[in-house]
């Protein structure tokens, strides 16, 4: 029975899938933190066109203006009970 895809194409698709899955989580987090819909992060899973499409979208859309995060409270050092 002949192979459906060549071994070289299989390796390329495997490498693309691994790289896309590694890039997916940070892109998803960027979209969520910026207050945008996270579905475009999944564009990286599309071979050849997905990565440029996802990053082009991030580069050219109007980013929402969010209020600054409140400052973090600093913890006071614990006092020594014996001192």
- What's residue 25's pLDDT? 92
What pTM was estimated for this model as a whole?
Answer: 0.61
Of 46, 6, 8, which Cα lies nearest the Cα of 27? 46
Cα Rg, the chain, nearest whole Å: 22
pLDDT per residue over 27-36, tens digit each? 999 888 888 8
Residue environment code for 53-78, b if the CB has 16+ CB neighbours within 10 A, otherwise e = ebeeebeeeeeeeeeeeeeeeeeeee
- What's residue 55's pLDDT? 87
Instruction: Kindly write down the DSSP assignment for every residue of 12-53, as one continuous string.
Output: HHHHHHHHHHHHHHHHHHHHHHTTS-SGGGGGGGSTTTHHHH
- What's residue 37's pLDDT? 86
What are 81's two structure tokens?
């009970």
Domain boundaries along the sequence of the chain: 7-60
- What's residue 71's pLDDT? 84
Point out the residues of the chain with pLDDT beneath 50: none
């Amino acid at each position: 029975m002949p192979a459906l895809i060549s071994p070289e194409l299989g390796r390329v698709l495997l490498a693309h899938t691994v790289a896309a899955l590694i890039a997916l989580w940070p892109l998803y987090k960027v979209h969520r933190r910026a207050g945008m819909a996270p579905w475009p992060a999944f564009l990286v899973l599309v071979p050849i066109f997905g990565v440029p499409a996802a990053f082009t979208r991030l580069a050219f859309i109007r980013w929402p203006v969010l209020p600054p995060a409140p400052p973090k409270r600093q913890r006071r050092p614990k006092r020594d009970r014996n001192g």
